[in-house]
Amino acid sequence: MLKKVFFTKYSDQSVNLPFVLSAVGLNHSQEYINRPSGLPAFQLIYTVKGKGVLELDDKQFIVEKGNGILLFPNIGHRYYRVSNEWKVHFLLFSGYGIKDLFKNIGIEQSSIYKLNNTDKIENHMEELFVNNTQDNSNEMYEYSGKLYNILLEFLKSTTIQNANSFHKQNSKVYMVMDFINQHYMDPIVLSDLAAKVHLSKEYLCQLFKRVNGFSIFDYITDVRLANARTLLIQDRNEKIKNISRLCGYEDVSYFGKVFKKKIGITPAKFRELH
């Protein structure tokens, strides 16, 4: 699938429709974004290759293939890649029917969602580009219809059936993720995590993987290395062995091996290149 991006001339200020498309992109190479006040429209960002980090409400989330980011309007956020490349599909949209559509199945705030099947979503997005190349006086209605279909497929692919059951199922996973985000610099033991949310180690691992699409151990590593990369750039005079300890690795040699395996280069080389 080729890289494609286009912006429409429509917004909910200019068009009174329940679903209004403002922009769409396929295979976009995601750059560093920092928006303290958010955007005035909804954003849906789906990772197709690589990995990024979303910072939202003073929390940090790893976003990789299969994860969709849904951002509500005017909510501050920051996101950036943490792999060699981060390719995403994205939509920018608004309209008076959006919030009710999401609210009916329990989505009332910005979050990350695991998408199970994106083939239909991508097909609808491709069709948007076909519409864009045609001279059509009714294009805003065509865009509106396609956007509605995409959002329905997004909602179906998240397998959310009921707000209460969804939040109850995932709340313990989010508690574990919050704990990891806050204590990545300390030793983290699976049995301790399980005890905190009153689950067995085995079930916690299964639930975490089902909700996020990646394991607890992968998440711990990704959070630690995301913070390590920040420290390597921000504190250039700090010794790598100290950064290793600050990110939960007492053994600097092991830290170096993990860093190179995940990032592709050593911590020292990363600092040199950035």
Q: In the chain, where does the domain assigned CATH 1.10.10.60 lie?
A: 164-273
For position 38, what pLDDT does the model report?
94
Q: Give the list of residues 6+ apart from residue 260 with CB closer than 8 angstroms, or none.
A: 266
| Angle, alpha carbons 156-160-165 (nearest 5°) | 165
Q: Which residues contact 39 (CB under 8 A, 6 or more apart)?
A: 71, 73, 74, 92
Residue 140: its pLDDT value, please?
Answer: 87
**What pLDDT, on a 0 to 100 scale, did the predictor assign at position 172?**
84
Q: What pLDDT score was predicted for residue 137?
A: 67
- pLDDT tens digits, one per residue of 21-62: 999 999 999 999 999 999 999 999 999 999 999 998 888 888
Rounded Cα distance between 22 and 151, Å, is 14
In this structure, are residues 229 and 270 in contact, taking their beta carbons and an 8 Å threshold? yes
Taking only the tens place, the pLDDT of each residue in 183-222 is 999 999 999 999 998 888 888 898 888 777 789 999 999 9
Q: Start-end ranges of CATH 2.60.120.280 in the chain? A: 4-161
Query: What stretches of the chain adopt beta strand conformation (E)?
Result: 4-7, 20-29, 33-35, 42-56, 59-64, 67-71, 77-94, 111-114
- Token couple for 73: 């309007």
pLDDT in tens, 114-133: 888 788 888 888 888 877 76
Strand partners, 111: 70
User: Could you name the CATH architecture of 4-161?
Assistant: Sandwich (2.60)
Tokens representing 230 are 């920040």
Topology (CATH) of 164-273: Arc Repressor Mutant, subunit A (1.10.10)
In angstroms, the CA 44 to CA 69 distance is 6
Average pLDDT score over residue span 252-265? 94
The model's pTM: 0.60
